[in-house]
Structure 1
Amino acid sequence: MLWREKYEQWLQQLPANDPLREQLSDIQQDERKLEDSFYKNLEFGTGGMRGILGPGTNRMNIYTVRKAAYGLGAFIESQGEGAKQCGVAIAYDSRHQSQEFALEVAKTLGAFGIRSFVYESLRPTPLLSFAVRHLSAVAGVMITASHNPPEYNGLKMYGDDGAQLPPEAADLIVGYMDQAESEITIETISEEGLNKLLTWIGNDVDQAYLEKLKMIQLNPEAAQSELSIVFTGLHGTGTLMAKKAFDTLGYRNVTYVEEQSIPDPEFTTAPSPNPEEPEAFRLAIETGKKVNADILLATDPDADRLGIAVRNQEGEYILLTGNQIGAILIEYILDQKQQKNMLPENGVIMKTIVTTEMARAIASRYGIDTIDTLTGFKFIAEKIQEFEKTNNKTFLFGYEESYGFLAGDFVRDKDAIQAAVLLAEAASHYTNEGLSLYEVLIEIFNTVGYHKETTRSLKLEGKDGAEQIRSILGSFRAEPPKTINGVNVLTIEDYQTGKKIDVRTSQQTMLVLPNSNVIKYILEDGSWICIRPSGTEPKIKFYYGVKAEDSAIAAERISALVETILERAAVKGA
């Protein structure tokens, strides 16, 4: 169906008093906006679906939410009555319409006779992952757009293992979604019927999570140190659970950024609610200076990502990268487990293919293997599930460069609450030894080499943007570089074809990871570049990593890589 036909269908089917009808009227003279709202269906990516709020098939609204829930409902129904009785856990964040969308999911599932367990108030994404397993639910749904701007919302789906759905299950659900004739005519259950199938959940599940949180502690006594912590939830879900977590584990010297502890869908004091961004730490730094804090912690709105600022040698707060945070946590976990004779011989660290090689270098010093996965924490969760069945590996830690960390496998997605209490513990422990986290990082660099990574993204929205992204990737695939800045390319890993190519010999071997639209180049000097489209935003992403003798050389190498690759992609300045 052409986009204009879909638009006309919506005008015919929308209820007369539906607010979306008025919003459509506001854009009906803007052909470009109208087309972008209807030219395709909102797509499932690495984390479900995510989009701008508004009317249309390519927007987040109650009808596109119902369509996604319809696909999940049909998928669960195909598994039999037992699956329907196990039910679906549902949580939501602080964004516009999040609670409304959560109830729309429950109402749509209710039409299939499927039970729902819905949080009584907003909760972090990791609590949803935990609830799926704790309640033995057949699936989970999280309403969130993570760290996207305020005009976005989204929906993540989880399997019965508490992990985001793997591609195979997601494809089946999309197939069921496509069977719906129209988003607007999808049936939902009455309020009376919903009450019979809906169970509200809250503090009891929180307490069960907090009991599990105690199990990842390596030095519980560290909580008694004088370490001063500032925490901000950036107007999202993080503050509620962080307070409970720090209180439960005995941390008393924690200051919460008051203005950002209040849930706010506009993220008024943090327009870009992303703990990767310096601006997100502005109020935390102001608060940190007032209370002389040692570390500053920030979670994104759904509290699955964590950022940290630490004091450098001059006493100034600096932000660490996700790669650096993960390196510190790996060093702390492995060192403490080794000292306590708790380090398993078959232990394993997991990271994504775009995450620093520093992780592998640290782990190898302790005789621990490192396994790479595709981007997306569901692939790390998939390996955890595999190890549970085979018992051939013991999961110790998993992370991705985009500020996602997991230590305790009672959650099967990245968990900023876990990471926050572990970083507090590590900082307290090292403080007792006379070291700051910054000094620990410098020691790591001195031991395994100076690793530096960076990411550049180019935002290309709409239909034209999607075509540009395909064109850029197609160009790198059709004409791969043999040298970059005078350094030979050793191997090309093309995850779409599943082949690893030795550039010197042209020998090809098969990659062990699933197919994905990703290309990675590994250079002779240990540098690497990886290119992939974002699964959740209209962006193409370029990842870079180098290893050097010191920070100056690393900065020079990575700057040259960025410039060359963006020029090659004809997107200089992205």
Structure 2
Amino acid sequence: MQWKARYEEWLQQLPINDPLRVQLSEVQRDKRQLEDCFYKYLEFGTGGMRGIIGPGTNRMNLYTVRKLAAGLASYIEIQGEDAKKRGVVISYDSRKFSREFAEEVAKTIGFRNVKSYVFDSLHPTPLLSFAVRHLGAFAGIMITASHNPPEYNGLKVYGEDGAQLTPNAADVIVSYMDQVDNEINIESRSLEELEAKELLVWIGDEVDKAYLNQLKEIQLSSVEEKSNLSIIFTGLHGTGTPIAKKAFDALCYQNVIYVEEQAVPDPQFTTAPTPNPEETEAFNLAIQYGYRNGAELLLATDPDADRLGIAVKKKDGKYQLLTGNQIGAILIQYILERRQKSGKLPGNGVILKTIVTTELAKAIAEKYGIETVDTLTGFKFIAENIEAINTTNERQFLFGYEESYGFLVSDFVRDKDAIQAAVLVAEAATYYRQQRRSLLDILNSLFNQHGYHKEVTRSIKLEGKDGAEKISRIMDEFRQNTPSALGSLKIRRSEDYQSGDMFDFFTSEICSLTLPKSNVLKYILEDESWICIRPSGTEPKIKFYIGVKAETIKGTEEKLTRLEEDLLNRVTI
């Protein structure tokens, strides 16, 4: 069906007073915008289904939510009555329509007699992941657009292991979604009817209590070892502050100050227009609080509290933000160092990271005799590896992370968990403080031991149908015209995760890659610097990752500059 036909169908079938119909009427003369609203259906990406809120099949609204819920219900039905009774856990963040979308999922799957457990207040992504296994549910849905701008919302879908769906499972659900002829006419039940039939259960604070009990187990320091470390925490108008307060109280941190203006849920993210702890602007208020209170550590979580950013006080009194790669490296060092000193470092331990995450992690792990395993980008692949590790019992999971500020300390959650990371960062800062060292001192020590590693990510935003076509063309151009060198460095080997092939330019050898197929290209250069190119799975962007290593900070900066200039000059938009 062409986009014009979809548009006409929606306009005819939407109730006369439906706000989406009103919005369509307001833009009926803007053919370009209408086409973008209807030229395709929202797709599953790295983090599920995510898009701009508004009318149309390519937007987040009640009807596209219903369509996904119907596809999930069909998937659960074929698993049998037990799967329907185990049901789906549903959580939601502070974004516009998140509560409404959560209830719409429950109403849609409830019509098919699939039970739902819905949090009675907004809750973070890691609590959803935890709740799926804690309640023995068959699946989970998190309503969130993570760190995207305010005009976005989305859904993440989880399996019974508490991890985001792998591509194979997602494909099955998509196949059922494709069988839905008309998303506007999908039937649902009222919340009152679902409650009466015990197909809807509201979750109170019992899951929080169980989560906090598990959180206490990740500590590597005793209560007596903890000092009065001064911490500023902000949840950036999202879900992080309530559970963070409970966590820091439970773990006896007495000097945590919360950014009051950003503790209030706000779908417009009024004081943090870009609610992303990767961005310096997201820390503006926290830094002001830090100066006023003399805080040593600033912590920020994104709206669904699965990503953590930190800033550390320098000797000159100013704050330095650390990258996700640097935070993960410090946490790996702390975990392995403390476990070794306590005699609890397993010989079969394993660190999991993505292919675009710093190689410093591997160097630190090797020093302690610990294996590092790479996965594709997306925490669902780390979770998939955790499940495999636990199934065979041949290895022990110690830590998992990705460069985009996602960390997991213990696998009672199967997605990145900013609350776990926040309390362990605070513990590490306390531990090293007692040695008169800061987290920056630890980072510099790691660089001195393993070489200076530096990474950058550059994105080009290309929106709409034209943008998607441009992204596809850029990927094709790099595939068909692989450069022999970048930034004056020869390419040693190329890895094409779509074809599944690795080619060694020095030996002309071709090998098969072991990771699943994905639209990703990676180049490893002669000095072990690397470049990775991939379309974003959550935003209309193409992303370029660059990682280098040198003996000095200046050396890394020079390499990065040369590589970035050469790489981006090859991109034709």
Partner of 1:292: 294
Letter of the 1:230 partner, please give it.
Answer: I
SS in structure 2 at match of 1:471: helix
Partner of 2:127: 127
Q: Distance in 1 between matches of 2:129 and 2:73?
A: 19
Identical pairs, percent: 65
Q: Distance in 2 between matches of 1:181 and 1:485?
A: 51
Q: Which one of the candidate residues 236, 239, 248 is aligned to 1:246?
A: 248
Partner of 2:264: 262
Q: Distance in 2 between matches of 1:38 and 1:277?
A: 32
C-alpha contact 2:46 2:537 (8 A) present in aligned 1:
yes
Q: Distance in 2 between matches of 1:342 and 1:537?
A: 41
By how many angstroms is 1:223 displaced? 6.5
Does residue 521 (structure 1) correspond to residue 523 (structure 2)? The answer is: yes
C-alpha contact 2:487 2:559 (8 A) present in aligned 1:
no
C-alpha contact 1:495 1:519 (8 A) present in aligned 2:
yes
Letter of the 1:15 partner, please give it.
Answer: P
Q: Distance in 2 between matches of 1:162 and 1:557?
A: 40
SS in structure 1 at match of 2:298: strand
Partner of 1:307: 309
By how many angstroms is 1:312 displaced? 2.3
By how many angstroms is 1:569 displaced? 1.2
By how many angstroms is 1:436 displaced? 0.6
Letter of the 2:211 partner, please give it.
Answer: Y
Count of aligned pairs: 571
Partner of 2:204: 202
By how many angstroms is 1:550 displaced? 1.1
Partner of 2:319: 317
Partner of 2:50: 50
Partner of 1:219: 221
C-alpha contact 1:75 1:173 (8 A) present in aligned 2:
yes
Letter of the 1:50 partner, please give it.
Answer: R
By how many angstroms is 1:153 displaced? 0.3
Q: Distance in 2 between matches of 1:381 and 1:148?
A: 23
By how many angstroms is 1:248 displaced? 0.5
Partner of 1:449: 451
C-alpha contact 1:223 1:425 (8 A) present in aligned 2:
no
C-alpha contact 2:495 2:522 (8 A) present in aligned 1:
yes
Partner of 1:476: 478
Kindly provide the CA deviation profile for residues 227-277 of structure 1, in whole angstroms up to 9, marking residues without a partner as x.
100000000000011000000000010000010000000000000000000
Letter of the 2:495 partner, please give it.
Answer: E
Letter of the 1:388 partner, please give it.
Answer: N
C-alpha contact 1:222 1:428 (8 A) present in aligned 2:
no
C-alpha contact 2:454 2:548 (8 A) present in aligned 1:
yes
By how many angstroms is 1:316 displaced? 1.2
Moved over 2 A (4+): 190-193, 220-224, 312-315
Q: Distance in 1 between matches of 2:65 and 2:224?
A: 45
Kindly provide the CA deviation profile for residues 426-485 of structure 1, in whole angstroms up to 9, marking residues without a partner as x.
000000111011111111111111000000000000110011001101011001111112
Q: Distance in 1 between matches of 2:451 and 2:394?
A: 31
Partner of 2:68: 68
Provide the aligned C-alpha RMSD in A. 0.8
Kindly provide the CA deviation profile for residues 514-572 of structure 1, in whole angstroms up to 9, marking residues without a partner as x.
0000000000112100000000110000000000111111011101111110001136x
Partner of 2:416: 414
Unaligned runs of at least 5 residues, structure 2: none
Kindly provide the CA deviation profile for residues 342-396 of structure 1, in whole angstroms up to 9, marking residues without a partner as x.
0111000000000000000000000000000000000000000001111111000
SS in structure 1 at match of 2:59: coil
Q: Distance in 1 between matches of 2:222 and 2:276?
A: 30
Letter of the 1:232 partner, please give it.
Answer: T
Q: Which deviates more, 193-202 or 143-152?
A: 193-202
Q: Distance in 2 between matches of 1:61 and 1:559?
A: 42
Letter of the 1:424 partner, please give it.
Answer: A
By how many angstroms is 1:26 displaced? 1.2
Q: Distance in 2 between matches of 1:320 and 1:570?
A: 32
Kindly provide the CA deviation profile for residues 24-57 of structure 1, in whole angstroms up to 9, marking residues without a partner as x.
1111111110000000000110111000000000
Q: How does 1:106-121 map to 2 (within 5 A)?
A: 106-121=106-121
Residues 522 and 222 of structure 1: CA distance in aligned 2, closer, same or farther (over 3 Å):
farther
Partner of 2:439: 437
Partner of 1:138: 138
C-alpha contact 1:49 1:155 (8 A) present in aligned 2:
yes
SS in structure 1 at match of 2:519: coil
C-alpha contact 1:223 1:251 (8 A) present in aligned 2:
no
TM-score, normalized by length of structure 1? 0.99
Q: Distance in 1 between matches of 2:558 and 2:16?
A: 61
Residues 257 and 12 of structure 1: CA distance in aligned 2, closer, same or farther (over 3 Å):
same
C-alpha contact 1:456 1:541 (8 A) present in aligned 2:
yes
C-alpha contact 1:329 1:423 (8 A) present in aligned 2:
yes
C-alpha contact 1:223 1:250 (8 A) present in aligned 2:
no
Does residue 26 (structure 1) correspond to residue 21 (structure 2)? The answer is: no
Partner of 2:467: 465
Unaligned runs of at least 5 residues, structure 1: none
Partner of 1:156: 156
Letter of the 2:524 partner, please give it.
Answer: I
Letter of the 1:141 partner, please give it.
Answer: I
Partner of 1:358: 360
Q: Distance in 2 between matches of 1:500 and 1:39?
A: 35
Partner of 1:180: 180
Letter of the 1:12 partner, please give it.
Answer: Q
By how many angstroms is 1:222 displaced? 6.3
